[in-house]
């Protein structure tokens, strides 16, 4: 635990973080979405001088050569070698790859600039700038002053701008660098497109001088009646403040008082609670009220637990009928970010028969979990610790823990989220074990009400390796065993499925977190011809018959809902830069294997 707290502190200091503000949609916000100007800067001339010294390290920003200064010539002979207002334009939120053909494969630095006016609602209020996500590193400047740096392409962050904001002619400049690096999270090698840019909403948030910054309101672990959590105020007058918790649907109106740090714990029992579930995704209006602030959220209450080989939702054993999803709209071909994107993807999942989705391999936008709350779809959320990470690099661990902190902070009040995943397909070693155990401890220190898992390593034993077991030592530390398997695709042909024996020794529930194979939608042939829909259909039929022989099987999430872009997939005429394992093709047309899973979920 000491290591967790030390690393958290060092991470916040190193990257200039400010604590996240909870429930952005419940605040007074002004959107900065829309059209921004941008400058492509592969040599980072706008950041470093010719001696490779950062322009923002010292000196008067208005005289700097850095692009963040947004300089204009002051006289006829004044040499300024850039001009945002004359540069090309791009839509935010969105990735640059799918918007600009010449940037399709680009990895590197692009500078974004947005000019705006702002009249605050009330004197004494505080103003923050909030980013839903920027991939990967963001250096953020307002009116030439650096606000800070954030790493991680899939989690939110915010900075206070109260003292820098003007009524007119503000300019926000963001240096975005999506360069893949060995010591970052994820690392250089992935199987998805490295979409760069301001990929989620950018908003100005206005709050009172002392405001409700954070709160956690859920059922206590192993309880179906006790609501616990906390409220955290931010501001000069946060100590010894009255906070009122109001849940009209439960006839709860509780008066609380913060301590010297502006925090108050919540512990309330109610026999009126009706639980959130896929069959009844009930959300209660929950209001927090202080003398200066008031915020309302919609929160569902449910319990999730395991015992032996079963998963229990609200005390009842369940089977997780799931699908993996990447954060991409295949029809548009770019990063998914809007509520419309979420309705498309989760609508397809619901049509498949799912009560559960695995959001792979990184935190998706918050529209997905909010909509999952409303639709009654349970969610696995995953930290982007993928394949081979620099396990012994302390700064890599800091970045991984920071991203885990940010997704838990954002989504800890969402009933749909039932599993925090620490990693996917990571090779076993002692440094990796230390890394993942540290993340697990940290996750539980923030939220012990949900389950912990990871896509673990499998091992084949016996003649031909046909007996499969989970040999990964991290299995001891998870609540739910999960593993990816591609028998019949990367491991033999579909007929091999009937030869497999399962010898999973751990007395825990199992989710098969990935299985499947590729097919080009509309490409037909016999069931033994690879890349055809018929081959994929055959593989799925054999796979589900194999998987139901696992005694502890309590869920599946085949790979994957829809085709998605990946530069690893280069076969002309078949892949063309797409991973074709989707049950739905890039045009939105369902493949034959979709109906195999749909029938399986109906029957189970």
Q: State phi, psi for 478 to the nearest 5 degrees.
A: -105, 155
Percent helix, strand, coil in the chain, to 5, is 25, 30, 45
Beta carbons within 8 Å of 339's beta carbon, 6+ residues apart: 367, 371
- The whole-number mean pLDDT for each consecutive block of 10 residues of the chain, a chain of 604 residues, reads 44 59 96 98 95 81 82 94 97 97 98 97 95 98 97 98 97 98 97 98 98 98 96 97 98 97 97 97 98 98 98 98 98 95 98 98 97 98 97 98 98 98 97 98 98 95 94 97 97 97 97 98 97 98 98 98 97 98 98 98 94
342-394 pLDDT, tens digit per residue, is 999 999 999 999 999 999 999 999 999 999 999 999 999 999 999 999 999 99
Inter-residue contact 224 to 314 (CB < 8 Å): yes
Quickly list DSSP for 540-571. Answer: HHHHHHHHTT-TTEEEE--S-SB-EE-TT---
Rounded Cα distance between 223 and 229, Å, is: 13
In sequence order, the 6+-apart residues with CB closer than 8 A to the CB of 150 are: 15, 16, 17, 131, 134, 137, 138, 140, 157
Token pair 């100005």 in the structure block, residue: 204
Q: Looking at the DSSP assignment, which residues form a beta bridge with residue 140?
A: 148, 174
From residue 448, give the alpha-carbon distance in Å to each of 95, 304, 545.
Answer: 35, 11, 35
Contact between 90 and 198 under an 8 Å Cβ cutoff? The reply is no
Run of H or E residues at 432: helix 430-446
Residues 6+ apart with CB under 8 A from 327: 154, 335, 336, 337, 359, 362, 364, 365, 368
Beta carbons of 174 and 37 less than 8 angstroms apart: no
Q: All domains of the chain, ordered by start, with CATH?
A: 18-207 (2.60.120.260), 211-302 (2.60.40.10), 306-603 (3.20.20.80)
Query: Dihedrals φ, ψ of 553, to 5°?
Result: -60, 120
pTM of the predicted structure, to 2 decimals: 0.95
Please provide the DSSP assignment of 113-152 as one string. EEEE----SSTT-EEEEEES--BSEEEEEETTEEEEEEE-
Whole-number pLDDT of residue 57: 81
184: Cβ contacts below 8 Å, ≥ 6 apart: 136, 151, 396, 399
Residue 79 contacts residue 100 (beta carbons within 8 Å): no
83-115 per-residue burial string, b: 16 or more CB within 10 A, e: under 16? ebeebeebebbbbbbbbbeebeebeebbbbbbb
């Amino acid at each position: 635990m000491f290591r967790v707290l030390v690393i958290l502190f060092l991470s916040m200091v190193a990257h200039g973080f400010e604590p996240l503000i909870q429930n952005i949609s419940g605040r007074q916000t002004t959107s900065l979405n829309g059209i921004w100007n941008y400058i492509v800067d592969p040599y980072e001339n706008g950041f470093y001088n010719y001696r490779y010294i950062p322009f923002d390290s010292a000196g008067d920003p208005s005289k700097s050569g850095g692009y963040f200064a947004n300089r204009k010539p002051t006289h006829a002979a004044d040499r300024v070698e850039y001009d945002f207002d004359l540069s090309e334009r791009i839509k935010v939120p969105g990735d640059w790859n799918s918007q600009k053909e010449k940037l399709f494969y680009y990895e590197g630095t692009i500078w974004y600039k947005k000019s705006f006016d702002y009249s605050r609602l009330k004197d004494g209020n505080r103003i923050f700038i909030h980013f839903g996500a920027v991939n990967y590193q963001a250096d953020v400047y307002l009116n030439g002053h650096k606000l800070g740096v954030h790493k991680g392409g899939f989690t939110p962050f915010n900075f206070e701008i109260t003292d820098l904001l003007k009524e007119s002619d503000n300019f926000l400049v963001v240096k975005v660098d999506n360069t893949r690096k060995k010591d970052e999270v994820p690392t250089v090698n992935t199987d998805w497109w490295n979409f760069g840019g301001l990929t989620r909403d950018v908003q100005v948030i206005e709050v009172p001088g002392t405001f409700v910054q954070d709160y956690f309101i859920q059922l206590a672990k192993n309880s179906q009646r006790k609501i616990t959590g906390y409220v955290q105020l931010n501001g000069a007058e946060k100590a010894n403040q009255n906070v009122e918790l109001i849940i009209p649907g439960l006839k709860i109106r509780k008066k609380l008082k913060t301590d010297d740090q502006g925090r108050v714990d919540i512990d309330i029992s109610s026999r009126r609670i009706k639980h959130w579930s896929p069959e009844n995704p009930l959300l209660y209006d929950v209001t927090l009220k202080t003398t200066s602030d008031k915020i309302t959220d919609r929160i569902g209450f449910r319990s999730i637990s395991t015992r032996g080989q079963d998963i229990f939702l609200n005390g009842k054993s369940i089977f997780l009928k799931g699908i993996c999803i990447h954060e991409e709209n295949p029809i548009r071909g770019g990063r998914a970010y809007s509520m419309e994107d979420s309705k498309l993807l989760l609508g397809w999942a619901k049509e498949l028969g799912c009560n559960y989705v695995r959001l792979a391999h990184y935190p998706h936008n918050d529209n997905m979990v909010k909509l999952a709350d409303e639709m009654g779809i349970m969610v696995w959320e995953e930290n982007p610790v993928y394949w081979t990470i620099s396990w012994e690099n302390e700064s890599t661990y800091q970045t991984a823990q920071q991203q885990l902190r940010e997704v838990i902070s954002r989504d800890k009040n969402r009933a749909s989220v039932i599993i925090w995943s620490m990693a996917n397909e990571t090779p076993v070693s002692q440094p990796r074990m230390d890394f993942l155990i540290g993340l697990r401890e940290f996750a539980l220190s923030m939220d012990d009400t949900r389950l912990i898992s990871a896509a673990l390593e499998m091992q084949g034993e016996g003649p031909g390796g046909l007996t499969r077991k989970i040999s990964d030592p991290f299995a001891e530390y998870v609540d739910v065993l999960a593993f990816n398997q591609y028998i019949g695709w990367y491991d033999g042909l579909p007929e091999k499925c009937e030869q497999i024996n399962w010898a999973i020794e751990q007395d825990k529930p199992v989710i098969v977190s990935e299985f499947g194979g590729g097919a080009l939608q509309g490409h037909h042939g016999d069931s033994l011809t690879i890349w055809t829909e018929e081959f994929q259909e055959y593989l799925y039929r054999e796979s589900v018959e194999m998987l139901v022989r696992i005694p502890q099987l309590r869920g599946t999430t085949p790979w994957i809902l829809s085709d998605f872009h990946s530069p690893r997939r280069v076969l002309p005429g078949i892949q063309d830069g797409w991973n074709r394992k989707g049950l739905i093709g890039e045009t939105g047309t369902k493949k034959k294997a979709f109906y195999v899973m749909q029938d399986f979920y109906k029957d189970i």
